[in-house]
Amino acid sequence: MELTASPQAPYQRLDRDLLTDVLWACAEPGHRPEHLTVRTGDGRAALVLYSLADSERAACAAALHGVRRALGTSPMLSGWTARAIPLDTTGPIGAPGGGPW
């Protein structure tokens, strides 16, 4: 998943550890979150969320729900939006063909 800041967002660069804490606080135990990796940059953040949900579809829905909850409740995320992105698992994140950045 990728978060993107609008030009009007008060925070254009997010602290990775603080964002991780906000996302964990917004996760619901029933969604069975297991692990979260966050990478931040100017005006964007890449999230990789792992879940023990029963299906890929349920895991994606749970991740989106938690991120939308964070966007709606955290002042730090005012002006930020989220979108799901496919992660190509053939290479490491950041490598050609290996996901965001």
Residues 5-18 have a mean pLDDT of 95
For residue 99, what pLDDT is reported?
47
For residue 3, what pLDDT is reported?
96
For residue 67, what pLDDT is reported?
95
For residue 51, what pLDDT is reported?
86
Q: Is the pLDDT of residue 78 over 80?
A: yes
The rounded mean pLDDT for the chain is 86
Whole-structure pTM value? 0.80
For residue 57, what pLDDT is reported?
86
Q: Is the pLDDT of residue 88 over 60?
A: no
Of 3, 43, 41, nearest to 23 by C-alpha is: 3
